[in-house]
Amino acid sequence: MTTNLVIADDEYFIRQKIKKLIPFEELDIEFIGECENGSEVIELLSKCRIDIILLDIRMPKFSGIEVAKYVFEHHSDSKIIILSGFNDFEYARTTFRYGVFDYLLKPVEPDALTAALKTCVQKITLEAEQKEQLAKYYHYRKCMKLSDVLRGSLELNSLQHQYPEIRQAEYSLFEGVYTVMECETTAKELAALYQEQGVDCEYFIESEHIFYIQFFLRDDTLEALCRYLCKKFAKDTNTRCYFAFSSIFPIEEKWEPHQKEALFLLGDRYFGSGPDLTKQLMVAQPPQPIPEISDIRHSLLLILNTNDISGFKKYLEHLFHIIGERKSCHYLNLVVAEILLTFSIRYPDSKLTGYRLHDYINAIIAEDYLLEELKNTICSYGLKYMDNAGAIPSDLMLSKKITAYIQEHFTEHDLSVTKLGLIFQLNVSYMGSVFKKTNGQSLLQYITFVRMEASRKLLMSNQYKVGEVAEKVGFTDVFYYSKRFKKMYGYSPKDFISLNNQSL
């Protein structure tokens, strides 16, 4: 994070001289402006965040001391370094009372100014890291409590006692969101947009592409604001996303049916024409008979047993045509589940990338948003099981390089499909399809699997707390990490540690 800086002095030539003394690039500091009086400093603070203010004591309109007092009371994150021609103890003592970071005498020595700025930048960086860690911990603890209420293991009044802001809410509302790119970044940005408008909410990461937000509303009129802000976000963002709202409900009601409603509606992205999936779809009746689910297994086994690749592709085309005609995410789930279950019956030795079958099915459906892409994904898995994936040597070589890079860099928090595309200078869609064809799983699934296996080993070492393990393997959201760990291994990280200790 680049630190920004403002110079405030009533003398123009002094401001220019100070600018020349500062090694901006070396210190990673961005110069964002200069002010010739205290009033301009206060006005600039109202428009943007200022990290460091180099502040003269004697200025017109508002003195440096008055500005320092204002910053201390209203913008305490900003750091002030006083530049004064007065070697006066009373001046210094007064400014330090208002949290001034340093006090330098004019004419300023270049080394002294550089040293003060370097220390100040380090202080700002440390405070930002501590603030981020506290925010992560608060998010984790609150998500845990909210999930307990959702599952019915914690009473609402107990939650309200711990979080008084929820006590003010009369209603709640869920929003499910599917995003093509980095899920956590989108979740944070959308939740921040709501919170900036005074809407209390919390986000929960469900998978690599899906998250949901729970709102806590003082009155039911705020529902319209939430919907408006979400539509604005979907329009303004560069990332393709789909969203669906549950019906608004009194906060005393059971939460889980409404959460499931929002997440279930996201399945309609495969059939919808726009980002808002809440009420846009009508169930269409297909013009031809719908195959029974039991018939799918029988027909598919006949094709797989004869290794009929052409027949396999045609049958998938037929099934997905009917899915598109039917426009039912429930039917889509049933068909995909039956296909993958048939794969596991016909090829019992095949490994589903560390997932249990149910979670594997959900992961595949959660990953895409186009029926054609979902069909191609399932087709590539089927061809791989039939030992005829059509992988060429160059694809295998690329896949090995990507796998090796992930194995080496999975601990980096910013490791993503987008970053891999930049590193290997490849189109993200092409790179993902090659990897999926040769490995039987998506890039995101593989990154998650590698991180989970590494975290399991760290937990078994009994040297780290759950939050520390999550950080070490590349997760920034401890709640999401715990959720994924339990899905993959059947135990929460805490329970896993306890069981491991009992076996020692």
Pairing assessment for the beta strands 102-105 and 79-84 based on DSSP bridges: parallel
Reported as a single tens digit per residue, the pLDDT across 291-329 is 577 788 888 988 888 888 899 999 999 999 999 988 888
Instruction: Provide the residue-wise pLDDT of the chain in tens; the chain has 504 residues.
Output: 789 999 999 999 999 999 999 999 999 999 999 999 999 999 999 999 999 999 998 888 888 889 999 999 999 999 999 988 776 667 777 778 898 999 998 889 999 999 999 999 999 999 999 998 888 889 999 999 999 999 999 999 999 999 998 999 999 999 999 998 778 889 999 999 999 999 999 999 998 899 999 999 999 999 999 999 999 998 888 888 899 999 999 999 999 999 999 999 998 899 876 788 775 444 444 444 555 777 888 889 888 888 888 999 999 999 999 999 888 888 898 899 999 888 888 887 665 555 677 777 888 888 888 899 899 888 888 887 776 545 566 788 898 999 999 999 999 998 988 899 999 999 888 898 888 877 778 888 899 999 999 999 999 998 999 999 999 999 989 999 999 898 888 888 998 988 888 765
pTM, two decimal places: 0.77
Angle between helices 428-439 and 417-424 (to 10 degrees): 100
DSSP 368: -
> At 29, phi and psi to the nearest 5?
-115, 135
Residues 123 and 494: their CA atoms lie apart, in Å, by 34
CA 362 centroid distance within chain:
19
Give the closest residue to 340 by CA, choosing from 308, 290, 309, 382. Answer: 382
**Contact (CB, 8 A) for 9 and 53:** no
Q: How far is CA 377 from CA 301, 328, 339, 411, 437, in A?
A: 19, 19, 12, 27, 8
Give the separation between CA 223 and CA 258, rounded to whole angstroms. 14
Concatenated DSSP letters of 126-169:
HHHHHHHHHHHHHHHHHHHHHHHHHHTSS-HHHHHHH-HHHHT-
Distances (CA, A) of 500 to 119, 469, 492, 497, 503: 44, 15, 12, 5, 5
Q: How many Å apart are CA 337 and CA 342, to the nearest integer?
A: 8
CA distances (Å), origin 242, targets 199, 334, 454: 21, 22, 32
- Give me the residues paired with residue 214 across strands: 174, 202
Phi (first) and psi of residue 23, to 5 degrees: -80, 80
The number of CA neighbours under 13 Å toward the Cβ of 372 is 0
User: Pseudo-torsion of CA 273, 277, 280, 283, nearest 10°?
Assistant: 90
CB 446 within 8 A of CB 410: no
In angstroms, rounded to a whole number, what is the distance separating the alpha carbons of residues 161 and 181?
37
End-to-end CA distance of the chain: 44
Residues 348 and 407: beta-carbon distance below 8 Å? no
* Structural domains of the chain sorted by starting position, each given as residue range(s) with its CATH number in brackets: 3-127 (3.40.50.2300), 168-254 (3.30.70.600), 282-390 (no CATH), 392-504 (1.10.10.60)
Neighbours of 65 (CB within 10 A): 21
The continuous run of DSSP H or E covering 80 comes out as strand 79-84
